Amino acid sequence: MPADRHLLAEFLRVYPFQPATAWWRAVEIGELMRFGHLLAGLCLDVGCGDGLLTRIIDRRAGPQPRTWVGIDPDPAEVALARQLGFYAELMNAPADRIEQPDAHFDCALSNSVLEHIPEVDAVLREVGRVLKPGAPFLVSVPSADFHGCLGGPSAPRRALLRQTRADYLHEIDRRTAHVHYRSEAEWRDGLAAAGFAEVRCSSYFTAPQVRRWETLSNLTAGLLHRIHPRPPIEIQRSLGLRRSRSMPAWLAGAVAPLVAAGVGGAAQPCGGLMIVAYRGA
């Protein structure tokens, strides 16, 4: 299966105006749930955003008891997360300044966040500080091969916009606010320096899956970004798309097969990296 259709429908329901994001999340969280049993006890959500994603993760991670504490530097996103009533505590702060004592958390999660942070090693050290010895840190990030999985620019884009491959990749990175694509070795080194003794990595996102995201993104956020060259989250706020809205469940279920249609599942994963790191003693 290229993506869990039920999970895709769930994300389409909560992100009704962001089909590319829904697709990305369905693939990503389908992989993350292989390690859902590690999320237990007092859990730190690094870069919690509006909380909708983590609430879905929590529902699917298994019956073990969990209490979530979220941290995010964006006050508007923290305000949205607070409205959910899902988190026991929320911190409006950057993740290199966590207002908790040493060895406080049983686990931590950072889902599609660390690729946006320039000084990411400071965040790794701070997460390591607040985790108990042996506690797991689950991380998902685009891989060092992410650019290679992209198909564009298309021939019409090249002809109409005179856009080179390098220009196109720069546009994608600016729109997604990706500031780095670390290799597996670089993540291992950074985590080891931050006090993590065991690091396990696996790949997800095949090239066809990445290109389906690329197509959906270019047709939605990509068009808006060309009209209003601002960060996508600012565009969504200006259009009122960050407010709590949802697609009817029956409609999301009908749309999900259309979004996933034609994406093969046999290709090797290359576009994403799932990391499970354990805090050293």
Query: What band does 9 get if pLDDT is binned at 50, 70 and 90?
Result: very high
Is the CA virtual torsion 44, 50, 56, 57 positive or negative?
Answer: negative
β-strand partners of 196: 279
| Owner of token pair 């697609």 | 247
Peptide bond into 153 cis (omega under 30): yes
Q: Looking at residue 241, what is its pLDDT?
A: 62
Q: What is the pLDDT of residues 136-176, one digit of tens each?
A: 999 999 999 999 999 988 877 777 778 899 999 999 999 99
Rg (the chain; Cα; Å):
18
Q: Looking at residue 238, what is its pLDDT?
A: 63
Is the CA virtual torsion 125, 40, 270, 232 positive or negative?
Answer: negative
- Of 39, 43, 115, 44, nearest to 272 by C-alpha is 115
Q: Quick count: other Cβ atoms within 10 Å of Cβ 276?
A: 18
User: If you average pLDDT over every residue of the chain, what do you get?
Assistant: 91
In this structure, what token pair is assigned to residue 233? 């989250």
Higher pLDDT pick, 246 / 145? 145
Q: Are strands 269-279 and 136-142 parallel, antiparallel or unpaired?
A: antiparallel
Whether the predicted pLDDT of 1 surpasses 60: no
CATH class of 5-279: alpha beta
Domain spans of the chain?
A: 5-279
Euclidean distance between CA atoms 151 and 123, whole angstroms: 32
β-strand partners of 68: 43
Q: What is the pLDDT of residues 29-40, one digit of tens each?
A: 999 999 999 999
Q: Looking at residue 229, what is its pLDDT?
A: 66
Query: What band does 41 get if pLDDT is binned at 50, 70 and 90?
Result: very high
Contact 216, 19 (CB under 8 A): yes
- Of 77, 53, 76, nearest to 68 by C-alpha is 53
In this structure, what token pair is assigned to residue 213? 């995201």
At 145, phi and psi to the nearest 5?
-95, 10
